[in-house]
């Protein structure tokens, strides 16, 4: 596929070819130690390259957590860029977990850094924060659309301190009466449905982040209605280490399940350099069986 192919089409192709497992690349200090690597940019680079090697040909998408590279400064970014190149050479889609969120030209600059074709940091998709208003991301969504990229907007995360904010009910909005999380999901769904240049895409280019441990009803997110059209990509972290099994994704997400990326990091990375490939293969089989 060319880079201009819409992200939603590429994501649907990944689901068809490899299933929906998304493997995190999280070189935090504890994992580097368990892998026998130094807590340094060089260690993060070697860790990332080994994860990419284990994923190649087994899954279609990886999710580097940029904070664990960024903490090593410029050398950490160089390490990420090397991992990024190797992932692209292995035909992996790269979802950069950057969680950027700002307004105006500042947010536009973040979008150019991570989504502009030819940028040293260019990824296939990124995560973003909408808590300066979903409208503050419009420039990012338009750049993603023009470049064939994807964006995943934080909606309902698994950390308990987020619930009071994300479950708060909007008072002044076109979606007044909805929770913040529910309004974000509705807003993203409407954006995808309103794109004038695509007649019937299998997946939208813009998705949401919903943790696998989130009580969707309490968060104001409908899992029982009609599936969104086009399909709504859902990055669902929290499988494995936080409790839910990858095979539970349909039970958890209901009508949203067709768009779910089953994201696992620590439960896979904890297998170590000698066990990670076999662990990935087993998890892929579990997810595929759950969707059959």
Nearest to 273 by CA among 13, 49, 64: 49
Residue tagged active-site, from 63, 88, 99, 149: 99
The rounded distance, in Å, linking the Cα atoms of 228 and 190 is 9
Question: Which positions ≥6 away from 20 have C-beta within 8 Å?
Answer: 14, 249, 260, 261, 262, 287, 291
As a whole number of Å, the end-to-end CA separation of the chain is 26
99 is catalytic: yes
Strand partners, 219: none
CA atoms within 13 A on the CB side of 218: 12
In order of 3, 24, 28, 78, 164, the CA distances from 152 in angstroms are 18, 15, 23, 24, 21
How many residues are given for the chain?
A: 292
In order of 105, 164, 175, 180, 227, the CA distances from 220 in angstroms are 32, 12, 12, 8, 16
8-state DSSP, 226: P
**Residue 272 CA, distance from chain mean position:** 23
The rounded distance, in Å, linking the Cα atoms of 110 and 102 is 9
The rounded distance, in Å, linking the Cα atoms of 96 and 84 is 9
**Residues annotated as catalytic (active site), given as ranges:** 99
């Amino acid at each position: 596929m060319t880079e201009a192919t819409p992200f939603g089409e590429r994501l649907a192709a990944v689901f068809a070819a490899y299933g929906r497992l998304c493997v995190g690349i999280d070189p935090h200090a504890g994992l580097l130690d368990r892998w026998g690597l130094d807590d340094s940019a060089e260690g993060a680079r070697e860790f990332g390259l080994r994860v990419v090697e284990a994923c190649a040909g087994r899954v279609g998408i990886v999710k580097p957590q940029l904070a664990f590279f960024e903490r090593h400064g410029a050398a950490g970014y160089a390490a990420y860029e090397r991992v990024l190149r190797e992932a692209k050479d292995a035909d992996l889609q790269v979802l950069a977990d950057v969680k950027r969120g700002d307004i105006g030209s500042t947010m536009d600059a973040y979008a150019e850094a991570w989504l502009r074709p030819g940028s040293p940091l260019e990824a296939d998709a990124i995560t973003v924060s909408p808590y300066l208003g979903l409208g503050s991301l419009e420039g990012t969504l338009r750049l993603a659309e023009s470049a064939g990229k994807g964006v995943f907007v934080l909606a309902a995360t698994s950390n308990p301190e987020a619930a009071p904010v994300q479950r708060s009910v909007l008072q002044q909005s076109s979606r007044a009466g909805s929770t913040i999380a529910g309004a974000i999901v509705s807003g993203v769904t409407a954006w995808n449905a309103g794109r004038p240049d695509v007649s019937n895409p299998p997946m939208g280019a813009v998705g949401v982040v919903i943790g696998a441990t989130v009580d969707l009803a309490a968060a104001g997110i409908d899992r029982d209605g009609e599936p969104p059209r086009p399909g709504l990509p859902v990055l669902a972290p929290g499988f494995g280490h936080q409790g839910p099994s990858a095979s539970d994704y349909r039970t958890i997400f209901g009508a949203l399940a067709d768009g779910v990326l089953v994201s696992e990091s620590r439960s896979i990375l904890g297998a170590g350099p000698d066990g990670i490939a076999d662990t990935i293969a087993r998890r892929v089989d579990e997810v595929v069986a759950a969707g059959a």
